[in-house]
Structure 1
Amino acid sequence: MLDFSFTEEQEYFRNMLREFAKEELLPNYTKWDREGTMPKHLWKKLGDLGVNGLRIPVEYGGSEADCVMTGIAAEEIGRGDFNLTYAVMLNSLIGEIINNHASEELKQEWLPQISSGEKIVGIALTEPAAGTDAAGIQTTAVYKNGVYVVNGEKSGISVATIGDAFIIFAKTNPELGNRGISAFICPAELPGVECKGYEDMGNIPIGRGSIYLNDVELPEKYLIGLENKGFSQVMNGFDLSRLLIGLQCVGAAFQSLDETIEHVKVRQSFGKPLAKYQAVSFPIVTHYTQLEMIKWQAYRGLWLRDQGLKHSKESASVKWLGPKCSQEAIHECLLLNGHYAYTKEMALEQRLRDVIGLEIGDGTAQANQMVIANDIIGKEFRSYERPAVTK
Structure 2
Amino acid sequence: MDFGLAEDHASVRDSVRNFARAELAPGYLARSKRSDFPWAVHKQVAELGVLGLLAGADHNPLDAEDFVAAGLAVEELAYADVNVANAVIPVMLVASLLSRHGSEHVRGEWLGPLVGGRTYVSFCLTEADSGSDAAALRTKAVAVDGGYVISGEKASVTMAAHASALIVTAQTYREGVHLGVSAFLVEMDDPGITTSGIADTGWKPMGRSMVHLDEVRVDEGALLGAEGAAFRSVLNGFDFTRPLLALTGVGCAQASLDETAAYVRERSAFGSPLARFEGVSFPLAEHSTTLEAARLLCYSALWKRGSGVRHTADAAMTKWYGPKMAGNAIKECLLLHGNYGYSAEFPFEQRLRDVLALEIADGTAQIQKIIISRELFGAEFTPYRG
Q: Give the TM interval when normalised to the shorter protein.
A: over 0.9
Q: Supply the distance in 2 between the matched residues of 1:8 and 1:385 (Cα, whole angstroms).
A: 44
Cross-structure match for 1:30: 29
CA distance in 2, matches of 1:245, 1:56: 18
Aligned position for 1:15: 14
Are the counterparts in 1 of residues 143 and 173 from structure 2 also a CA contact under 8 Å?
Answer: no
Name the CA distance, whole Å, in 2 between partners of 1:21 and 1:53: 18
With structure 2 as the length reference, what TM-score do the two structures score? 0.96
Higher mean displacement: 299-308 or 7-16: 7-16
For residue 336 of structure 1, report the CA deviation from its aligned partner: 0.4
Distance 1:16 1:60, change over 3 A: closer
Given residue 22 of structure 1, which amino acid in structure 2 is its aligned partner? Answer: R
Q: 1:18 to 1:87 in 2, by over 3 A?
A: same
Could you tell me the percent identity over the aligned residues?
A: 39
Q: CA deviation at 1:248?
A: 0.8
Equivalent residue for 1:188? 188
Moved more, 274-283 or 31-40: 31-40
Counterpart position of 2:347: 347
Which position in structure 1 is the counterpart of 2:71? 71
Alignment partner, residue 58 of structure 1: 57
Matched residue, 1:105: 105
Distance 1:184 1:43 in 2: 25
Kindly state the Cα deviation for residue 93 of structure 1 after the two structures are TM-superposed.
Answer: 1.2
Tell me by how many angstroms 1:57 deviates. Answer: 1.9
Distance in 2 between residues matched to 1:265 and 1:62, nearest whole Å: 41
- Give distance in 2, aligned partners of 1:173 and 1:228: 9
Matched, 1:257 2:257: yes
Q: Could you list the per-position Cα deviations for residues 18-61 of structure 1 after superposition, in whole angstroms to 9, with x for gaps in the alignment?
A: 12111111111111222222101111111111011110123246
Give the Cα–Cα distance (whole angstroms) in 1 for the partners of residues 7 and 232 of structure 2: 36
Q: Which amino acid aligns with 2:384?
A: R
Q: Structure 1 residues 60 and 20, CA, compared in 2 at 3 Å: closer, same or farther?
A: closer
Q: d(CA) in 1 for partners of 2:263 and 2:221?
A: 56
SS in structure 2 at match of 1:205 = coil
Note the C-alpha offset of 1:8: 2.2
Deviation at 1:181, TM superposition (A): 0.9
Query: How far did residue 152 of structure 1 move?
Result: 0.6
Task: Report the counterpart of residue 232 of structure 2 in structure 1.
Answer: 232
The answer to which of 57-66 and 259-268 deviates more is 57-66
Q: Residue 217 of structure 1: CA displacement? A: 1.1
- Distance (Å, rounded) in 1 between the aligned partners of 2:312 and 2:230: 19
CA separation in 2, counterparts of 1:195 and 1:248?
A: 27
Q: Distance in 2 between matches of 1:105 and 1:223?
A: 11
Aligned amino acid, residue 37 of structure 1? D
2:147 alignment partner in structure 1: 147
Q: Distance in 1 between matches of 2:217 and 2:375?
A: 41
Cα separation, 1, equivalents of 2:158 and 2:172: 24
Structure 2 distance, partners of 1:195, 1:78, is 28
Shift of residue 236 of structure 1?
1.1
Is residue 198 of structure 1 aligned with residue 195 of structure 2?
no
Q: Which runs of 5+ in 1 are unaligned?
A: none
CA contact (8 A) 1:61 1:115 kept: no
1:386 aligned residue: 384
Q: Structure 2: how far apart are the matches of 1:61 and 1:301?
A: 21
Residue type matched to 1:137 in 2?
A: L
Answering whether residue 182 of structure 2 is matched by residue 207 of structure 1, we say no
Alpha-carbon distance, 1:240 to partner: 0.4
Are residue 91 (structure 1) and residue 91 (structure 2) matched?
Answer: yes
d(CA) in 1 for partners of 2:292, 2:31? 29
The correspondence of residues 216-365 of structure 1 with structure 2, limited to 5 A, is: 216-365=216-365
SS of 1:35's partner is coil
8 Å contact from structure 1 (residues 98, 107) kept in 2 = yes
Structure-1 separation of matches of 2:242 and 2:51 = 17
- Contact 1:51 1:73 (C-alpha < 8 Å) held by counterparts: yes
Write the distance in 2 (CA, Å) between the matches of 1:351 and 1:176: 48
The AA in structure 1 aligned to 2:279 is A
Whole-Å Cα distance in 2 between the matches of residues 366 and 347 of structure 1?
A: 29
Q: Which moved more, 1:354-363 or 1:223-232?
A: 223-232
How far off is 1:66 after superposition? 0.6
The 1:58–1:349 alpha-carbon spacing in structure 2 relative to 1, beyond 3 Å, is same
Change (3 A) 1:275 1:288: same
Inter-partner Cα distance in structure 2 for 1:59 and 1:133: 35
Q: TM-score, normalised by structure 1?
A: 0.95
CA distances 1:279-333 after superposition (whole Å, capped 9, x unpaired): 0000000011001011011111111111111011110000011111100000000
